Structure 1
Amino acid sequence: MTRRSKPKRARYAYLDTVPQSAPPYLTMLSIELWHCVFSYCQPPALLAVRDTCHVFRNVVDANNGILLAHSPLLLPHPPPDPRKYMRFLKHGLQRSALGRFFDIRNPWQPGLYGSAAYTMTLFRKGECYMCRKRTDGPPTWMPSKIYICSKRCRYHFFRSKVAFLLPKYKYRPRYTLKLDRHIWPWLPNMTRARRPRDNSRWAVPLRDLRNARREYRSEVMTAPTPMEQMRLESALFKRYSVRRHEITAVDGFQYHLDEWRMKMEITARKTGSANSHRLRNMARDRGIAPAMVAENHGVDKTLLMRTRNLRSITSSSLTKAGLLDPYSKYMKCQHCDDFIFAEWVDWHIMKCHPGYLPLSRVSKETGCAEYRCKLCDNRSVTYYSPKSLHAHQYHKHGVQEHER
């Protein structure tokens, strides 16, 4: 009887969870190492990694999304902790409603910050209510989850998509129905001003008001008898009470979120101005004209991404964007990716890539436009200023300005 060979055990246990057709970067590190790497990612980067593949999604969502829950702590100004806010809430229904909204079961559990649902609510992109444009989180109004991308959309939103609560109608919308006196107290309301919210006009979204009217008519007004109508109405009012506690708790927590958002906006503006000043200094030290920096789309993209992530711009990031070359005396040809001596780049393009040498360029010393003569027989690579070009063509080719 021949002895059967014992199957070998996998060298790494994580390979059992990775498909055989997975790309090489998945089998390069173990699940534990990927978990350690992702623990240093900020929330936007972590959400982008989560949407890459199902393996990374499982890594990020492991242990009830602990990576997503702790990633906001890596920001310069961490957002308010809903667990601490829930500990100070005396109303039990509001505490439980806020826990359901952010998926927090035990706020007194030590060593935890927020939740995965809380991080997604703050940093997941949403759709603008007016222009349908994808905009960054958090929502402008948390209870309704309404996103507004700009001041213009905010202005049009309050002009056409809300019903204002007026004192002379006992804080009900102006055009009301008889059933609205039961509906509007349980709806999430909002104000035009961000801060302070005192002495401002409160409003109710028309979308929520229409949905509430439709729900009231379908569940209460369709009852066959008055007694059945009263029973259904009391059951609906109980649900309204639960919703009201949730709206009150989330609306109270949004005050702290508005404070945090203002801090982040101030920090982003300071970071953007500092990065722009630093970029001008780097370009000035290397003899690069400001016009060339402004025309470089890679530099604009790098500057925007570094400012959005609240990070300072560096020489290495500008080198990757193509503004600064890794070699001081050599430049990279845009057509063949060869490094050539800086003074011979024009001659190289004229000889090796005919037809690609531009007729105009921006001078690195002055930042003004320079032009190349079209009439030279030897196809000169010398660039002139507008006045020097007119003088060159007049003296060498006998061409006057009015003849051209």
Structure 2
Amino acid sequence: MNEQKDVGIKEIPRLDKWIILSIQHLFAMFGATILVPLLTGLSPAVALVSSGLGTLAYLVITKGQIPAYLGSSFAFIMPIIAAISIGGPEGAMIGSFFAGLVYGIVALIIKATGVQWLMRLLPPIVVGPVIMVIGLGLAGVAIDMAMNDPVTESYSGLHFGVALFTLAVTVIASIFFRGFFGLIPILFGITAGYLFAAWRGIVDFSPVQEAAWIQAPDFLIPFVTYSPSMSIEIILIMVPIALVTLSEHIGDQMVLSKVAERNFVEKPGLHRSIFGDGIATVISSFLGGPPNTTYGENIGVVALTRVFSTFVIGGAAVLAITFGFVGKISALITTIPSAVMGGVSILLFGIIASNGMRMLIDNQVDIGRKRNLIISSVILIIGIGGAFIQVTDTIEVSGIALATVIGIVLNMILPGRDRVKTSAEMFEDMSEKKESSNDGAA
């Protein structure tokens, strides 16, 4: 049987194949990337444009050597909502900008000193429970959108029925669809839920009819559309989340390295990939979009197709930017009922929490050890319980940010820390697992 030939990182596919492969990546990122702005009140069109521009910047900074796509980060959903409640969307952009700066600072330190200190600061026993807090902390948001009529803000059996139908289709697509279609269950769920909601009469199509085909998104540009103002409270809410997403970033780089059989952490270097991620988030903050992060969905597409070409990733980024300027598409996205988004969010937010648990399992963290049990327990209760520290009358550290800081402190002061593996050792372990898996399959 003939095996499909891999498409190399620097290889440019034939034009027709190039377009089709880029569209696959667009579909893979589309559902999740527009979900974040829809949940937070930001513009989906701006999110698409900032996602595309951020990905192109990332490819340039990493010298076109890492086939990664960047989209809206789920980890920042709650912080963005909190920031908007304090300083509006403009305030959230200020927080996003400083979160991107953290990436840049960490990249410079890694360039000078290596990555070991970051792995020691953010081991799985800290990051795993914090990721669980991110998912579980959003549970109420998902249920409210699923059960309540957004007009009356009270329980609606009709809306809950739409949400459950959307959830059911998403679950079926996740379990039974194979190949590329199995990578886009969110898109299937949203599409099916939207059609069902339209049939039940809760979709208003007037914005689509009124929108122009070519239309600039509602950008939020500092010193152009608004005058930025500093808010320490917003910075304290959003900046600590960058520490969590940094750990996720390292995990994504290790997975990509395993899939491509090239150690991206060493070359072009983790400092370049982290810096690229930070620049993408800064670009997004200058336009009014949510922070960006490398997308597991697109890593899945790379693993499935064995197409590693960064030109294909760049093509998807150009398509995303183009879609952001198509007014009809942007208007169509805004007509998606909250019940539909609530349905997919029930699954997605649960998956975020489960991924935190998976991080503990994959890294063989022994929760039976008192040290690990204490750290994880305190992080979960502090984060989900809504604890906060009132710094001044207007500044408080709360939720995920407080849980992250306390988790880091506990990990540093409690005795019995495990030795942290180097990036080379982690890559070697993953390669050995892959080889043993292949031997077993043979």
Structure 1 length-normalised TM: 0.22
Higher normalized contact order (CA 8 Å, seq sep 6+, divided by chain length): 2
Which structure dedicates a bigger proportion of its chain to helix?
A: 2
